[in-house]
Amino acid sequence: MSHYFFAAKIPSDTKVKMKEEMEKLKASYPFRRWVHHEDLHITLAFLGHAPEDKLEEAKALVKESIQDFEAFNMSVAGLGTFGRKDQPRIFWAGVSKSDELSILRDRVFQACEKAGFPLETRPFSPHITLARNWEGKAPFQKQEETLSFNNYEFLLDEVVLYRTNMAKNPKYEAVEIYHLK
């Protein structure tokens, strides 16, 4: 069963640079599954399974809510984890603090809620998931060489509705693309 989510798209050239860094990190960080570089994104609203009528309503409401939104610059800002410190569930790249990203997320999130989707209530913690499920024999420890992830700037100019397909790699398929001004 497919799941859907709205995300800020990471430009292709930035994904390629991040892929190169991820390849270097794999030797030091044994995670069970590394994300395909084409699947890198910043989640704005996770819908889960979506009935067609609610999905169509969400698409229309999101389009309306961000139609006047201007593209803005972002940068990748360091690395972190979610889950247990010694055995993290998620290894991620952070992004620079951005009022624009918070406002964009709020607009997308509220449009999806208005369409009837029950969304997560956790505070927004923007990130780009790189890998999942630590498998190292020793406890996880972040190393200093990982700081090279701080240098990537990019223009955030698209929001995408993605559909998941767990049998494929990359796993995410763009269903709808919304261009920012």
Question: Against a cut of 0.85, is the pTM above it?
Answer: yes
Q: Considering the chain, what percentage of its residues have pLDDT values greater than 90?
A: 80
37 is a catalytic site residue: no
pLDDT for residue 172 = 97
Give the whole-angstrom CA distance, residue 67 versus residue 65. 6
Q: What CATH number is given to the structural domain containing 152?
A: 3.90.1140.10
Where in the sequence is the domain holding 100, given as residue range(s)?
Answer: 4-179
- Write down the catalytic residue from 3, 41, 49, 179: 41
- Write down the catalytic residue from 37, 49, 127, 179: 127
For the cut 70, the answer to whether the pLDDT of residue 146 exceeds it is no
Q: Which residues of 129-155 are buried (b: 16+ CB within 10 A; e: fewer)?
A: bbbbebeeeeebebeeebeebeebebe
pLDDT digits (tens, 9 = 90+) for 91-108: 999 999 899 999 999 999
pLDDT for residue 78 = 84
- List, as one string, the DSSP characters of the chain: ---EEEEEEPPHHHHHHHHHHHHHHHTT--EEEEPPGGG-EEEEEEEES--HHHHHHHHHHHHHHHTTPPPEEEEEEEEEEEE-SSSEEEEEEEE---HHHHHHHHHHHHHHHHTT-----SPP--EEEEEEEE--SSPP---GGGGGGGG-EEEE-EEEEEEE-TTSSS-EEEEEEEE--
For the cut 90, the answer to whether the pLDDT of residue 171 exceeds it is yes
In sequence order, the β-bridge partners of residue 134 are 31
Please report, as a single letter, which amino acid is at residue 118: P
Evaluate whether 169 touches 8 at the Cβ level (below 8 Å): no
Give the whole-angstrom CA distance, residue 66 versus residue 158. 10
For the cut 70, the answer to whether the pLDDT of residue 140 exceeds it is yes
Give the whole-angstrom CA distance, residue 34 versus residue 24. 12
pLDDT digits (tens, 9 = 90+) for 19-75: 998 998 898 899 999 999 999 999 999 999 999 999 999 999 999 999 999 999 999
pLDDT for residue 104 = 99
- pLDDT band of residue 145 (cuts 50, 70, 90) is low
The number of domains in the chain is: 1
For the cut 70, the answer to whether the pLDDT of residue 148 exceeds it is no
Evaluate whether 125 touches 71 at the Cβ level (below 8 Å): no
pLDDT for residue 123 = 92
**Average of pLDDT values for 143-157?**
75
pLDDT digits (tens, 9 = 90+) for 5-18: 999 999 999 999 99
127 is a catalytic site residue: yes
